Amino acid sequence: MKQKKLILIFSFSAFLLFAFVAPVFAGSITGQIESFGGQIGASRQNLPEFIALIIRSLLGIIGLIFFIIILYGGWLYMTSQGAEDKIKKAKETLTTAIIGLIIIFAAYAIASFVTSAIINSSGATGTYPSGSTPGTVEGEGM
């Protein structure tokens, strides 16, 4: 009986694995490599924006992981059935996950500020006061 159930589960899993396969149409990748950077919002000429994109993506993934940990902690708490050790573990999990999310939000804010400052900086551009000429010193010729 156990073996039949195992074979049935394996067969059903194999069916699901192969039943929903998406067709793949192979083609030339010439030209697609250049357009890929534009599709993800990056380009070869703009390294700071590409680094900012990577940082934002990583922080988003880490934030998602901490959100999943919060869900896990909630599941532990709901299924503890009054057991003190399980409740304590669930509360610790929730506390550390919330602290982790706060750290991720702070890191995202700092990274966003720094990368926008780097991207928007255009270097040192000075202006001359009105009425002055470049290369002369005020009071010259007195």
Asked if the structure places residue 17 within a domain, the reply is no
Q: Average pLDDT of the chain?
A: 76
pLDDT of residue 132: 60
What domain count does the chain have? 1
Asked if the structure places residue 99 within a domain, the reply is yes
pLDDT of residue 87: 92
Q: How confident is the model at residue 33 (pLDDT cuts 50, 70, 90)?
A: low
For residue 94, which of 60, 67, 64 has the smallest C-alpha distance? 67
pTM for the full predicted model: 0.49
| N-term to C-term CA, the chain | 110
Model confidence at 89: pLDDT above 90: yes
Q: How confident is the model at residue 36 (pLDDT cuts 50, 70, 90)?
A: low
Asked if the structure places residue 41 within a domain, the reply is no
- Averaged pLDDT, 136-141: 55
* Residue 97, domain extent: 63-121
Q: How confident is the model at residue 72 (pLDDT cuts 50, 70, 90)?
A: very high
pLDDT of residue 59: 83
φ/ψ of 102, rounded to 5, equals -65, -40
Asked if the structure places residue 81 within a domain, the reply is yes
pLDDT of residue 35: 62
Asked if the structure places residue 96 within a domain, the reply is yes
What gap in Å lies between CA 37 and CA 97, rounded to an integer?
34
Asked if the structure places residue 140 within a domain, the reply is no
Asked if the structure places residue 4 within a domain, the reply is no
Model confidence at 105: pLDDT above 80: yes
Asked if the structure places residue 54 within a domain, the reply is no
